[in-house]
Amino acid sequence: MKNSILWAIVISIFAALAGIGYWSLSLVMTKPDESARIPLEIAADYIHAVIEANRTVYATEIVDKFQEKGLIEAAEHWRQENALPLPAQFLIETGKHVAATGSGIKYRLASLTPIYVWNAPVTDFERKGLEAVIKDPSKPFTGIVRIGRERVFQAIYADRAVAKNCIACHNTHPNSPRRDYKLHDVMGGIIITLPISR
């Protein structure tokens, strides 16, 4: 009898210890995970920062430098002409590579007055976003949208005419529907799409 009471006490102490152990372990295990979850708006900001950095370095350190030295030009039909892609095309091309990874992350350059129709908004949300960043370029237009069966997060960032050659080229391109861009105008937007569930 005494023995069985002793055993019962020992077993309940073990059970309590195991319970406390499991509970404290679960605290340690879940905390870093939860704090590592970042809002989609911030994830999009991070991706946007990388896209912008790549585009700036490509435009200033590669295209501008090579053109100044007269080594190689950037041209729209770069594949046929053995030239460098234009910075806009560089962004569009890297975006295609990212989309091809199947990670669900996508980005592209779009405008309400695009040189090519494939850079026009394809949904109401994209059109509204491009209108919103013209009015207020300081912050992205964000939201959750349904594309087919999938729900995705989209963020649209203003794309400004930061250099004279942006407006010079777009205002004179035979295909451009708009020819009165001025320096610092919002010419379009970078649309970033992130998957919500994987």
Binding-site ranges for ligand HEC (CB under 6 A)? 76, 86, 88-89, 92, 109-111, 114-116, 119, 159, 161-163, 165-166, 169-170, 187-188
CB of 28 to ligand HEC, least distance (A): 47
Strand stretches in 133-178, DSSP E: 141-147, 150-160
Residue identified by tokens 């035979």 is 174
CB of 191 to ligand HEC, least distance (A): 10
CB of 134 to ligand HEC, least distance (A): 11
In the complex with ligand HEC, the residue whose CB is nearer, 83 or 145, is 83
Partners of residue 158 on adjacent β-strands: 189
CB of 52 to ligand HEC, least distance (A): 11
In the complex with ligand HEC, the residue whose CB is nearer, 43 or 163, is 163
Question: Apex CA 41: angle with CA 122 and CA 121, to 5°?
Answer: 10
143, two tokens: 């939201």
Q: What are phi and psi of 57, to 5 degrees?
A: -65, -40
